[in-house]
Copies of this chain bind each other. A is one copy, B any other.
Amino acid sequence: MKINDNFLKIESSYLFSTVAKKQRAYQAAHPEADVIRLSIGDVTRPLAPAVIDAMHKAVDEMACEATFRGYPPEYGYDFILEAIQKNDYTDRGIDIAKDEIFLSDGAKSDCGNIGDIFSVDNKVAICDPVYPVYIDTNIMAGRSGDKDENGLWSNIIYMPCTAENNFTPDLPSEVPDVIYLCFPNNPTGMVATKEQLKKWVDYALEHKSLILFDSAYESFVVEEGIPKSIYEIEGAKKCAIELRSFSKTAGFTGMRCGYTVVPKELEFEGTSLNPLWARRQATKFNGVSYITQRAAEAIYSEEGKKQIKETLAYYQNNAKIIFEGLKDAGFECYGGVNSPYVWLRVPQGYTSWEFFDELLEKCQVVGTPGSGFGPAGEGYFRLTAFGSTEKTIEAIERIKSVYKK
């Protein structure tokens, strides 16, 4: 029995476990310290009442023979696919068919599993810094090549996103087969305008590349003219798959539900990708819990929409507090407007990890070092808006008291 050797190439990144370990060590040495965590991208507000009601109802249905539900449809019940189609596409002027939407147990699963339908021989382009799952899943699949002394993989096309290009990647000089884009971006919090996305769609169409568009954070977009879906761009249905999540939209991180859109007109070498993904999901996946599907449906009800908007406003207010507080303290910072993430430049002379250590030591605030998201993240730092407002204000006051000149 031969193992998949590609797995041996991945070193555990240890990003979040190192963050947690350092925090624990500090707390152990300073038991009295009130450490505030603005590091992890996990939500903290309870689920919307409409979602809770829908789940209680669904649980009761499972208790009764007449209303019990067995195996769910592999791609989702009609009620949720129709709610997604209407609210996320039709009502926004985008024409997506119901059988182009595939409900799943979350964007992370889809983001990793989507690679099953592509050849190992494809060359992928990935933003740097970015959500580590894109690169890790391609290493596992055998598309990465080898790692050089700077931590870069030989067969990956990197697209650096730094202050110098306003965190919007340039078109790569070498043409990739698959391009991962994530807007609003994790970790930088930056967005792409319609014009910027159009440039990518045109490029992909011209070069017959596939775009994997991760819009897990679309619900944080508040500014006019910023696309929430890649399909707002003409031609995108011929070159792009869209990955969506309810995790940040409705606080569903503990619920596990998202969806992926694979348009039928998306064809490569004369083969439509839609039936390939349908076959992958029907064979290696068995649908989402009925109760979770009813929960997701409730997000799209009138009360549900109102309630999740309130929770989003809560986090958006935290993001504003962080962004403005840091600016006031003299930091160069980005994101935070259409995103729950604020991305800041660490003070001159510090690495990301050195700043992490100092922030923990001097302010008892935990963030995430930018270098953990890729080599080009070095010198940056991420803070998240998912904490409580009270703690967020307290953290920013502490940072100001130490760093404000």
Name A residues whose Cβ lies closer than 8 Å to a Cβ of B: 1-5, 7-8, 10, 12, 42-47, 49, 52, 55-56, 59-60, 62-65, 68-72, 105-106, 108-109, 112-113, 116-122, 133, 136-137, 140, 177-178, 208-210, 251, 253-256, 268-269, 271, 273, 276, 279-280, 283-292
User: Contact: B47 with A254, CB < 8 Å?
Assistant: no
User: Contact: A105 with B70, CB < 8 Å?
Assistant: no
Separation of A209 and B106 alpha carbons in the complex (Å): 34
Q: Which residues of B contact A47 (CB under 8 A)?
A: 62-63, 68
**Distance (whole angstroms) from the CB of A49 to the closest CB of chain B:** 7
- Choose among B7, B70, B209 the residue that contacts A254 (Cβ–Cβ < 8 A): B70
Separation of A117 and B1 alpha carbons in the complex (Å): 11
Separation of A108 and B136 alpha carbons in the complex (Å): 23
**Distance (whole angstroms) from the CB of A83 to the closest CB of chain B:** 19
**Distance (whole angstroms) from the CB of A169 to the closest CB of chain B:** 19
Which 4 A-B pairs give the minimum distances between C-beta atoms? A112-B284, A2-B119, A42-B70, A69-B254
Q: Which residues of B contact A280 (CB under 8 A)?
A: 7, 140
User: Contact: B118 with A2, CB < 8 Å?
Assistant: yes
Separation of A113 and B44 alpha carbons in the complex (Å): 31
Chain B, residue nearest A7 (CB): B276
Q: Which residues of B contact A49 (CB under 8 A)?
A: 63
- Choose among B3, B279, B289 the residue that contacts A118 (Cβ–Cβ < 8 A): B3
Chain B, residue nearest A266 (CB): B1
Given known contacts A46-B64, A140-B116, is B1 in contact with A285 (CB within 8 Å)? no
User: Contact: A2 with B268, CB < 8 Å?
Assistant: yes
Q: What are 27 residue pairs bridging A and B, where the CB atoms are less than 8 Å apart in the complex?
A: A1-B118, A1-B122, A1-B177, A2-B118, A2-B268, A2-B269, A3-B268, A3-B273, A3-B276, A42-B70, A44-B70, A45-B68, A46-B62, A46-B65, A52-B62, A55-B59, A55-B62, A62-B254, A69-B254, A70-B254, A108-B284, A112-B285, A113-B113, A136-B283, A254-B290, A255-B291, A292-B292
User: Contact: A117 with B254, CB < 8 Å?
Assistant: no
User: Contact: A289 with B256, CB < 8 Å?
Assistant: yes
- Choose among B7, B62, B254, B279 the residue that contacts A72 (Cβ–Cβ < 8 A): B254
- Choose among B3, B56, B208 the residue that contacts A271 (Cβ–Cβ < 8 A): B3
Separation of A119 and B141 alpha carbons in the complex (Å): 10
User: Contact: B2 with A109, CB < 8 Å?
Assistant: no
User: Contact: A68 with B254, CB < 8 Å?
Assistant: yes
Chain B, residue nearest A204 (CB): B1
User: Contact: B70 with A268, CB < 8 Å?
Assistant: no
User: Contact: A253 with B285, CB < 8 Å?
Assistant: no
User: Contact: A108 with B286, CB < 8 Å?
Assistant: yes
**Distance (whole angstroms) from the CB of A176 to the closest CB of chain B:** 9
User: Contact: B7 with A137, CB < 8 Å?
Assistant: no
User: Contact: A255 with B52, CB < 8 Å?
Assistant: no
Separation of A72 and B62 alpha carbons in the complex (Å): 23
Chain B, residue nearest A110 (CB): B284
- Choose among B44, B56, B285, B287 the residue that contacts A59 (Cβ–Cβ < 8 A): B56
Q: Which residues of B contact A177 (CB under 8 A)?
A: 1-2
Separation of A12 and B279 alpha carbons in the complex (Å): 8
